[in-house]
Amino acid sequence: MGSVGTAAASRVRARLGLLALPVALYLWFIWSYGVSVPYQDDWSLVPLLRLLNQGHLTLAALWAQHLQNRVLVPNVLMLAVLKLTRFNTKVEMFCGAGLLLLGFLALGLAQRRISSRPLELLIPVAFLVFSLIQYVTALHGYAVSLYLIVAAFMLALLCLLRSESSGPGWLVAAMLLGLVASYSSLQGVAIWPAGLVLLVARGRQPRVGLLWVTVGMAALVLYLVGLQMGHDGHGVAVALTHPGLSMAYFLLLAGAVVPTVPRLGLNLNWLVALGAILWLLATVVVVKSLRARGRQQALALPAAVIGMVAAIDLAIVMGRAVLGLGFALDSRYTVFNVWLLAAVFLGWAEIFLSHRRWRHALGLAAVGAICLVQVAGSLHSGIAAGSELRSQHHQEVALLLHYRSASTAAIRQYAIQDPAVFVPRAEYLQAHGLSIFKRS
């Protein structure tokens, strides 16, 4: 009995070690390649921090539009972190990693709640969601807003599942988390249709779904009040009138989770084809989930995650397809699409383990092959890109130290697209000993 218990404990430690490995690698990546210096969107927090220090910060200032987004919740979180750390954006990066870990743990708990499948299934998921393909957001403090959406969404799914047997309090908690996601960035609004997918697939009462949709619509209306879309209106028109471009962009967003490998000839067309395969596999998971509606079916969770990513990618297409297909390769868009690949893997693993037919084995093998290529390729490409970003941010440090003599071209390349605000905000950081001017 003792040897059996020792062997079981060893297996548990091995599983936990494999689960912790990608998390440790992700944290090491931030520690090694992150640079504490304001970059692009980070500069928008300087006026808010000034208001906070002066005692004049208002809800209106926190609610104010940033590009096409409401970032109320991230503003509160980031200002708290920056206030405590004297504008250390590297701490923000670790906060983003913490939120990503929270989202992964919530997904794991939700998966264990509705499925008796082995813990080993979460190991590939961990390697995917902590993939270094998302190097831009991993090394950008302001990306906390995106990781807030991830954490809030996964926690909301867990609460919705708990509400099936533990009372309405969990449903209220899920709705509050929906509001957190919605007011973290425009992409967060996707939580409402995705949550509806879960409710329908789990066979919940129609009045629960109606209540969820009503709260979601109210959140969206409030979000849109006074929102100025700017040039995005033209982007929507282009996306709607060029369906071929929009479809290719949509597929490329999914395919881009696998890094391009020039030596293998993997160009945009290959990644579009890969995206088509991935969405075909995802569609099968969603269709099977909706056909098997009921509280005993485990496909509802991956189907809901797929629904979230679909809604987010459609929103990205509406705003960014006008810029051309190349922009779909931007690393920041992989933050959500790695969850798509993870959900498709969980879905096909559940399908195969439930039926064990050869066609299901082929589907799982196809997803597994994509996952292997993604994990192997993103490690190399992520570290290479991280090294390049670190060099760029060190150049920004030098630029900020000599901000009065910085050229407009250098400011736009390394710091912020609006050079007019760079000098006065840099002056504020220096006068108050913040960021790289922090006094020992």
pLDDT tens-digit map of 4-30: 567 667 777 888 888 999 999 999 999
Tell me which amino acid residue 304 is. Answer: A
Please tell me the predicted confidence (pLDDT) of residue 397: 92
Calculate ∠ Cα 298-302-307, nearest 5°: 130
Using CA atoms, how far apart are residues 407 and 415, in angstroms rounded to an integer?
A: 11
The 8-class DSSP code of residue 260 comes to P
DSSP run (H or E) holding 65? strand 65-66
416-425 contact pairs (CB < 8 A, 24+) = 416/39, 416/40, 416/43, 417/40, 421/43, 422/43, 425/38, 425/43, 425/46, 425/47
Give pTM, 2 decimals. Answer: 0.93
Residue 51, Cβ neighbours under 10 Å: how many? Answer: 15
Q: Is 66 helix (H, G, I), strand (E, B) or coil?
A: strand
Calculate ∠ Cα 356-282-96, nearest 5°: 115
CA distances from 158 to 108, 171, 199, 292 (A): 9, 10, 12, 20
DSSP run (H or E) holding 70? strand 69-70
Please tell me the predicted confidence (pLDDT) of residue 203: 87
Using CA atoms, how far apart are residues 338 and 257, in angstroms rounded to an integer?
A: 6
Using CA atoms, how far apart are residues 259 and 270, in angstroms rounded to an integer?
A: 11
CB 123 within 8 A of CB 109: no
Q: Which residue has the tokens 């066979």?
A: 203
Q: Which residues of the chain have pLDDT under 70?
A: 1-5, 7-8, 229-235, 261-266, 294-296, 439-440
CB 334 within 8 A of CB 256: yes
CB 132 within 8 A of CB 287: no
* DSSP output for 175-219: HHHHHHHHTT-GGGGGHHHHHHHHHHHTT--HHHHHHHHHHHHHH
Exposed e or buried b per residue across 78-98, where buried means at least 16 C-beta atoms within 10 angstroms of its C-beta: bbebbeebbbbbbbbbbbbbe
Using CA atoms, how far apart are residues 122 and 105, in angstroms rounded to an integer?
A: 10
CB 326 within 8 A of CB 260: no
Both tokens of 317, joined, read 């297409």
Please tell me the predicted confidence (pLDDT) of residue 8: 66
